Amino acid sequence: MLIIGIAGGTGCGKTTVVNQIINELPNGEVGVISQDSYYNDLSHLTLEERRQTNFDHPNSIDFDLLARHLKALKSGKPIEQPVYSFLECNRTDKKISTNPSKVMIVEGILIMTNPEIRNMFDIKIFVHADTDERLIRRLKRDVNERGWNLDETLEKYQTVLKPMHDQFIEPTKEYADIIIPNNKYNTVAVEIVRSIINEKLVES
Q: What is the CATH number of the domain that holds 193?
A: 3.40.50.300
How far is the C-alpha of 194 from the C-alpha of 20, rounded, in Å?
9
Q: pLDDT band at 97, cuts 50/70/90? A: very high
Number of Cα atoms under 13 Å in the Cβ half of residue 14:
24
Give the tens place of pLDDT for each residue, 7-43.
Answer: 998 877 788 888 888 887 877 788 999 999 999 999 9
Q: pLDDT band at 204, cuts 50/70/90? A: low
pTM, two decimals, is: 0.87
- Do β-strands 79-85 and 90-98 pair in parallel, antiparallel, or remain unpaired? antiparallel
pLDDT computed for residue 128 by the predictor: 86
Whole-number Cα distances in Å, 179 to 8, 20, 30, 65: 9, 15, 21, 27
Strand partners, 178: 125
How far is the C-alpha of 42 from the C-alpha of 49, rounded, in Å?
9
Q: What is the CA radius of gyration of the chain?
A: 17
Residues of the chain with pLDDT > 90: what percent? 53
* Full residue range of the structural domain in which residue 42 is found: 2-203
- Looking at per-residue pLDDT, the higher value among 189 and 113 belongs to 113
Number of structural domains, the chain?
Answer: 1
Give the tens place of pLDDT for each residue, 99-117.
Answer: 999 999 999 999 999 999 9
Give the tens place of pLDDT for each residue, 141-182.
Answer: 777 776 777 787 788 888 888 899 999 999 999 999 999 887
